[in-house]
Amino acid sequence: MHYILTIPDWAPTPLNKLLSAHWGTPAKRKKADARMIWAYAASAQIPKATGKRSVELTITLAPRQRAADPDAYFKSGCDALVRCGLLTDDNRQGVELLPVRFKRGERKATRIVLRDLP
């Protein structure tokens, strides 16, 4: 089974913004990312994970927006998915990370595809 979350005007906080911030800021940003994912997952009625899932991210960049490194979006994104129960864990037993894809659009957005794995 696969589940798709499309979140307009949002992207997970990139890792460099977590590492270069004041000590209290990363927790706030990660919490905000989890709330955003939870709200869209609840409205899409995505069930909680019971086993391993793959995660595919597609980041839509707005005009003139620069992309972070592809792997930079996984830290906060996967932590948020675990916090919301959409992944059992973000270790190798709980998730398979697929390559991040980028595309251009009128507005930024994030598309998260979760697939249950055997």
Domains of the chain: 2-116 (3.30.1330.70)
Strand ranges, E, within 1-118: 2-8, 53-61, 95-97, 101-104, 109-116
Mapping DSSP to helix (H, G, I), strand (E, B) and coil, where does residue 72 land? Answer: helix
Q: Span 83-92, mean pLDDT? A: 96
pLDDT at 40: 97
Tell me whether strands 95-97 and 2-8 are parallel, antiparallel or unpaired.
Answer: unpaired
- Which residue carries 């916090």 as its tokens? 83
Q: Span 82-111, mean pLDDT? A: 96
Strand ranges, E, within 2-92: 2-8, 53-61
Tens digit of each residue's pLDDT (9 = 90 or more) over 33-51: 999 999 999 999 999 999 9
Q: Does the structure show a pLDDT above 80 at 111?
A: yes
Q: Does the structure show a pLDDT above 80 at 21?
A: no
Decide if 65 contacts 42 (C-beta within 8 A).
no
